[in-house]
A and B are shown apart, each in its own frame.
Chain A
Amino acid sequence: MKKADILFGKVVTGFAALCLSGAVSVLSASAAPDIPYGFDSGGEKIFNRYDDTPLSSMAGTAGTRNLNSFYELRQYPGSPPRIPHKIPPAFAAEPYDCISCHGRGGYVAELEAYAPVTPHPENEACFQCHVPRLTEELFVETNWLSIRPPAIGRSQQLGGSPPAISHSLQLREDCIACHTGPAAVAEIRVEHASRGNCRQCHVPLVVTEPVQEFTRNN
């Protein structure tokens, strides 16, 4: 392991030192012994992340990422995004490499941008799912089609009520990672980042799946 050689993206905010430990503490398990990791759709992550993130870094408004740039990197709603920036060829995707920027976010001088925070830092082999783009050309044209990205921004159920969580929680359990901070996608950034118990008001209602209606037995 040659961490020093390949450490590449330097995070230059005030909490650079925290970054290396941040991802780990986000993971710290506080459940009782023998309770499997990740129960309740990994809801624990929200609380850990909340405790871990200074209010100031939840509140920023860089506004450089928006839904368009978000979907530019995806093939369908929910697909793992491509890596939009260059990476050195021997980049190993070791925890330090990707996580040094994407574990806690912060300003990256080389890119003149804030790094988006991953909602699943426990998965260490980043290149398993996220790959760069070395060419724009296709091998063969594709007939790929997918559905329109789901609408966002307001409650589908009752005007004025807290909007439901419109996506599946799988690999996206950590609300604070994506919905707060300067790198958050502008359209989905929450205005009340200082509240920590997100699922007190927001509950999953995946918009691409049919609504289950209540019916009584008998």
Chain B
Amino acid sequence: MTMKLDRRSFIKSAAATSAIATAASLFPGVSFANWKKLEGATGMISWQKAPCRFCGTGCGVLVGVSGDRAVAVKGDPNCSVNKGLCCVKGYHSVQALYGKDRLTKAKVRKNGEMVEVPIAEALDVIAAKMKETIDKHGKDSVAMYGSGQWTIPDGYVASKLFKGCIGTNNLEANARLCMASAVTGFMTSFGLDEPMGCYEDIEHANVFVTWGNNMAEMHPVLFSRMLAARKRKTNVEVIDFATRTTRTSQAADKTIIFKPQTDLAVANAICYEIIRNNWVNQDFVNKHVSFHKGLTNIGYGVEDHFKFKDKAEGISFEEFETFLKDYTPERVEKISGVSANDIRYLASVYGDPKKKVTSFWCMGMNQHTRGTWINNLVYNIHLLVGKISTPGNSPFSLTGQPSACGTVREVGTLTHKLPHGVVMKEGARKMAAEIWDVPLSNIDPKPTYHTVEMFRALDRGDIKFMWIQVTNPMVTMPKLKRYRDGALKEDRFVVVSDVYPTPTTDVADVILPAAMWVEQEGMFGNSERRTQHFDQIVPPPGEAMSDTWQLIEVARRLGYEKQFPWDEDEYIGKIWEEYRRFHDSPKHNMAPYKVLKARSGVQWPFVNGKETRWRFNSKHDPACTSGEDFHFYGKKDNRAWIWARPYEPAAESPDQEYNFWLNTGRVVEHWHTGSMTRRVPVLHNAVPSAYVEINPDDAADLGVVNGEMVKIISRRGEITMPASINGRGVPPRGMVFVPFFDESYLINEVTLDAFCPISKQPDYKKCAVRLEKA
């Protein structure tokens, strides 16, 4: 029946299309096209390279320019990431510059009204307010909340101003919400952040396992690179290990569905099977691995002032083996819903010495109240069989934002971090003080607030002033109502730098119009340690100003001219060369400015003019000095660490009253909160509104059909939105899924602000809700 309906409307739309075609054919040879024409253009396009503005893949694009307008895009064939192919967001990315409601003038709240002012006046207001707040309430009452979409210079000057000059560690970025568990996973397992492998692994691997990762939509260019590798070879398979059925499942050779949170148990069961079958790579493990355990029952962080510090303790291989006895495939089948056979199958894939295995993951593992643990556990699997740091053998943590790695993780725009090392270490503070030319005593050795706690502090009033750049927390914070109410409280002052009006500019006291993407010079850093420079290609509109320059202007108004001395025509190059001093070692050398300008991205460590493809592998990595085939030099014992981490349940699981899991995420057309992609006609027209995916049987029980409104209720709030049944994703019974891009349907009113106690990253994938037909 539904098929029939589909066909009928299909024919209807076909008839409409051919009517247009008929009308158009009355004027042969005259093209009307679908866009307004640039008047007086020569018809010539010049092309300039840039990294794509959206996800963390870091595709190279060529921006086509006519006059001072970006008019076209093509994939950059010189960029090894995407080799000339983009996704639908990338191909239409330049249109995101031209939404009619671009912010082009600064606004300041006067008597309750937002009033347009010259940008210099707005910058004066910000500096005066910061000074006043620090004088009255101390330096830790002002805070900055940045972004993985910050350029590297944006994040660097923010760190220098807040940590070096003002002397507060109140500096966080939205990457806390997307990558923090990846970072703590790397740090606890290897002692150094970011993947050891690179995208070239895709052409070498025989098996891909996507761990809770709908790559077909979230990293489409890497996904199609994987499909292309599968098509050209006969021995490649893709295994989708997921909590719901997605486009990735449809393309995969095998889909294995597990119950939310039980990836922890399955990963341990895989290790159990690897050991039981003697698939352990003994030589590798003896030489390069040490075993550890940490604390258990570590909590969920739902209460204010939550504190947790893990304690590592060395264990033997035998103790690790004993720990795994709880995770037999049969026992884990009961917890996870994954059949013991499928668990054995997964173990056999990792265990087969003839197969090269690449694991991909992103938010499914990172937005997890045991996010650090599950990152550790997947490394455990790869380490036990020695499938790591060699072409095709790669545990690969993908990034969601274009510069979550480059800016937040490498520059260190998190409360505990400095551009090199952490604030708690005197050596790191000394290095920063020297390069920044500030007194050592300026840099506070105590971290303050991670993101969730920072917004709690704003709500409590411990923070009075917050400056938000390039991000939209009034859509993305979990348990949103508390944090929106907090931002709106009487004596809170919120500055927002952005390119379009958003729910976050709605709570602002000052709005600064920002230059976007190629309207400024800058660098991003992608998922595979690749730093990507872009020139200013078109001018920003009106008084819009780069985020870096906004920070410099305010820093100078606060009296820090000495630390921010650069000219506007060369500041990016100067900042890069200053920043590069922090990473001056074979473990992290960055390419010089000139090299970055010339190439479509350069991987670090960049040593003696060469990029490092596989870290910790002596054949590829000049920082290896042990004389062995591998050298895990990040840890003091020169080994990679396997961790005994148990399965512990989610912070909130379905019960009698709230009987559904709520899972949230993204779609290929929209990027994050949609503030850019919804202003791109093709993207908005394709997915104009959010929806709630419901399993067809649950929908039948509830009595709703496709498109009918459903109320989703949690202990935090409720939201009513249209149902999607058998749409592009199908959750199992007992789960619903909602994409978070739509500011008209704020799903985070419903989510829970529980986080991983180690990484402090919230879990957006699991909380309990109930449904009502609206």
Residues of chain A touching chain B, judged by Cβ–Cβ distance below 8 Å, are 1-2, 27, 37, 63-69, 71-80, 82, 84-86, 88-90, 92-94, 110-113, 122-125, 127-150, 153, 168, 170-171, 186-187, 207-210
Q: Which residues of B in the span 215-241 have a Cβ within 8 Å of any Cβ on A?
A: 216, 220-221, 223-224, 227-228, 231-232
Contact A94 B21, beta carbon cutoff 8 Å: no
Contact B668 A72, beta carbon cutoff 8 Å: no
Contact B43 A94, beta carbon cutoff 8 Å: no
B728 at the interface (CB under 8 A from A): yes
Give chain B residues whose Cβ lies under 8 Å from the Cβ of A74.
33-35
B109 at the interface (CB under 8 A from A): no
Question: Closest CB-CB distance, A131 to chain B, in whole Å?
Answer: 4
Can you name 26 A-B residue pairings with CB atoms under 8 Å? A67-B31, A72-B24, A75-B35, A76-B35, A76-B71, A86-B6, A86-B13, A92-B247, A92-B250, A110-B11, A111-B10, A111-B11, A125-B223, A128-B87, A128-B221, A130-B88, A131-B682, A135-B685, A142-B99, A144-B95, A147-B66, A170-B74, A170-B75, A171-B85, A209-B47, A210-B44
Q: Which residues of B in the span 1-35 have a Cβ within 8 Å of any Cβ on A?
A: 3, 6-7, 9-11, 13-14, 17-18, 20-21, 24-25, 27-35
Q: Which residues of B in the span 100-133 have a Cβ within 8 Å of any Cβ on A?
A: 100-102
Give chain B residues whose Cβ lies under 8 Å from the Cβ of A65.
21
Contact B724 A89, beta carbon cutoff 8 Å: yes
B669 at the interface (CB under 8 A from A): yes
Q: Which residues of B in the span 666-693 have a Cβ within 8 Å of any Cβ on A?
A: 668-669, 674, 678-688
- Bound together, the chains give a CA A134 to CA B216 distance in angstroms of 21
B542 at the interface (CB under 8 A from A): no
Given contacts A68-B25, A170-B84, contact A148 B727 (CB under 8 A): no
- Bound together, the chains give a CA A32 to CA B247 distance in angstroms of 35
Contact A129 B35, beta carbon cutoff 8 Å: no
B45, closest chain A residue (CB): A208
Contact B10 A136, beta carbon cutoff 8 Å: no
Give chain B residues whose Cβ lies under 8 Å from the Cβ of A94.
250-251
Give chain B residues whose Cβ lies under 8 Å from the Cβ of A139.
674, 678-679, 684, 688
- Bound together, the chains give a CA A84 to CA B87 distance in angstroms of 18
B305 at the interface (CB under 8 A from A): no
Give chain B residues whose Cβ lies under 8 Å from the Cβ of A136.
685
CB contact between A123 and one of B27, B228, B686 (< 8 Å): that residue:
B228
Question: Closest CB-CB distance, B76 to chain A, in whole Å?
Answer: 10
Give chain B residues whose Cβ lies under 8 Å from the Cβ of A153.
29
- Bound together, the chains give a CA A150 to CA B84 distance in angstroms of 22
Contact B38 A131, beta carbon cutoff 8 Å: no
The A interface, classified by DSSP as helix, strand, loop or mixed, is loop
CB contact between A90 and one of B674, B688, B728 (< 8 Å): that residue:
B728
Contact A113 B724, beta carbon cutoff 8 Å: no
CB contact between A67 and one of B29, B71, B91, B724 (< 8 Å): that residue:
B29
Apart from A72-B32, A92-B247, A170-B84, 7 more pairs, CB < 8 Å? A67-B31, A77-B72, A134-B685, A142-B681, A144-B98, A148-B41, A207-B43
Q: Which residues of B in the span 486-503 have a Cβ within 8 Å of any Cβ on A?
A: 500
Contact A85 B13, beta carbon cutoff 8 Å: yes
Give chain B residues whose Cβ lies under 8 Å from the Cβ of A123.
85, 224, 228
Given contacts A65-B21, A71-B33, contact A113 B686 (CB under 8 A): no
Given contacts A147-B38, A187-B28, contact A75 B92 (CB under 8 A): yes
Contact B24 A69, beta carbon cutoff 8 Å: yes
Question: Closest CB-CB distance, A25 to chain B, in whole Å?
Answer: 13
Per-position binary interface string of chain B over residues 643-687, scored 1 when its CB falls under 8 Å from any chain A CB and 0 otherwise: 000000000000000000000000011000010001111111111
A84, closest chain B residue (CB): B17
Contact B686 A71, beta carbon cutoff 8 Å: no
Given contacts A37-B232, A68-B27, A112-B18, contact A146 B724 (CB under 8 A): no
Give chain B residues whose Cβ lies under 8 Å from the Cβ of A92.
247, 250-251
A9, closest chain B residue (CB): B10
CB contact between A131 and one of B6, B88, B250 (< 8 Å): that residue:
B88
Give chain A residues whose Cβ lies under 8 Å from the Cβ of B681.
75, 138, 142, 144
Given contacts A131-B686, A138-B684, contact A209 B45 (CB under 8 A): yes
- Bound together, the chains give a CA A89 to CA B33 distance in angstroms of 28
Contact B100 A143, beta carbon cutoff 8 Å: yes
Contact A149 B678, beta carbon cutoff 8 Å: no
- Bound together, the chains give a CA A171 to CA B86 distance in angstroms of 11
- Bound together, the chains give a CA A112 to CA B95 distance in angstroms of 34
- Bound together, the chains give a CA A168 to CA B13 distance in angstroms of 31
- Bound together, the chains give a CA A144 to CA B221 distance in angstroms of 25
Contact B247 A93, beta carbon cutoff 8 Å: yes
- Bound together, the chains give a CA A110 to CA B5 distance in angstroms of 12
Contact B43 A208, beta carbon cutoff 8 Å: yes
A112, closest chain B residue (CB): B14
B36 at the interface (CB under 8 A from A): yes
CB contact between A71 and one of B34, B66, B724 (< 8 Å): that residue:
B34
Per-position binary interface string of chain B over residues 599-626, scored 1 when its CB falls under 8 Å from any chain A CB and 0 otherwise: 0000000000000000000000000000
Question: Closest CB-CB distance, B514 to chain A, in whole Å?
Answer: 17
Question: Closest CB-CB distance, B643 to chain A, in whole Å?
Answer: 35
Q: Which residues of B in the span 21-78 have a Cβ within 8 Å of any Cβ on A?
A: 21, 24-25, 27-38, 41, 43-47, 64, 66, 69, 71-75, 77
Question: Closest CB-CB distance, B626 to chain A, in whole Å?
Answer: 34
- Bound together, the chains give a CA A187 to CA B25 distance in angstroms of 11
Question: Closest CB-CB distance, A136 to chain B, in whole Å?
Answer: 7
A1, closest chain B residue (CB): B250
Question: Closest CB-CB distance, A8 to chain B, in whole Å?
Answer: 8
CB contact between B71 and one of A90, A130, A147, A187 (< 8 Å): that residue:
A147
- Bound together, the chains give a CA A74 to CA B95 distance in angstroms of 12
Contact A168 B74, beta carbon cutoff 8 Å: yes
Contact B91 A88, beta carbon cutoff 8 Å: no
Contact A79 B72, beta carbon cutoff 8 Å: yes
Given contacts A140-B678, A142-B98, contact A89 B88 (CB under 8 A): no
- Bound together, the chains give a CA A146 to CA B39 distance in angstroms of 9
Most buried by B among A68, A79, A125, A170: A125
Give chain A residues whose Cβ lies under 8 Å from the Cβ of B228.
122-124
- Bound together, the chains give a CA A209 to CA B47 distance in angstroms of 9
A145, closest chain B residue (CB): B38
Question: Closest CB-CB distance, A16 to chain B, in whole Å?
Answer: 18
B726 at the interface (CB under 8 A from A): yes
B688, closest chain A residue (CB): A135
Given contacts A88-B6, A92-B251, contact A147 B37 (CB under 8 A): yes
Question: Closest CB-CB distance, B437 to chain A, in whole Å?
Answer: 43
Contact A125 B216, beta carbon cutoff 8 Å: yes
CB contact between B101 and one of A64, A80, A140 (< 8 Å): that residue:
A140
A141, closest chain B residue (CB): B100
Given contacts A64-B21, A67-B31, A133-B686, contact A110 B10 (CB under 8 A): yes
Contact A75 B682, beta carbon cutoff 8 Å: yes
- Bound together, the chains give a CA A149 to CA B29 distance in angstroms of 11
**4 interchain residue pairs of minimum CB distance:** A68-B24, A131-B686, A71-B33, A92-B250
Give chain B residues whose Cβ lies under 8 Å from the Cβ of A79.
72-73, 91-92
Contact B20 A69, beta carbon cutoff 8 Å: yes
Question: Closest CB-CB distance, B608 to chain A, in whole Å?
Answer: 27
Contact A146 B29, beta carbon cutoff 8 Å: no
Most buried by A among B31, B41, B46, B102: B31
- Bound together, the chains give a CA A28 to CA B425 distance in angstroms of 58
CB contact between A147 and one of B30, B45, B100, B216 (< 8 Å): that residue:
B45
Question: Closest CB-CB distance, B572 to chain A, in whole Å?
Answer: 27
Give chain B residues whose Cβ lies under 8 Å from the Cβ of A78.
72, 74
- Bound together, the chains give a CA A68 to CA B30 distance in angstroms of 7
CB contact between B72 and one of A76, A84, A88, A89 (< 8 Å): that residue:
A76
Contact B43 A150, beta carbon cutoff 8 Å: yes
Give chain A residues whose Cβ lies under 8 Å from the Cβ of B685.
82, 131, 133-138
- Bound together, the chains give a CA A135 to CA B316 distance in angstroms of 61
Give chain B residues whose Cβ lies under 8 Å from the Cβ of A132.
686
B42, closest chain A residue (CB): A147
Question: Closest CB-CB distance, A105 to chain B, in whole Å?
Answer: 16
- Bound together, the chains give a CA A153 to CA B101 distance in angstroms of 39
Give chain A residues whose Cβ lies under 8 Å from the Cβ of B66.
146-147
CB contact between B86 and one of A88, A90, A129 (< 8 Å): that residue:
A129
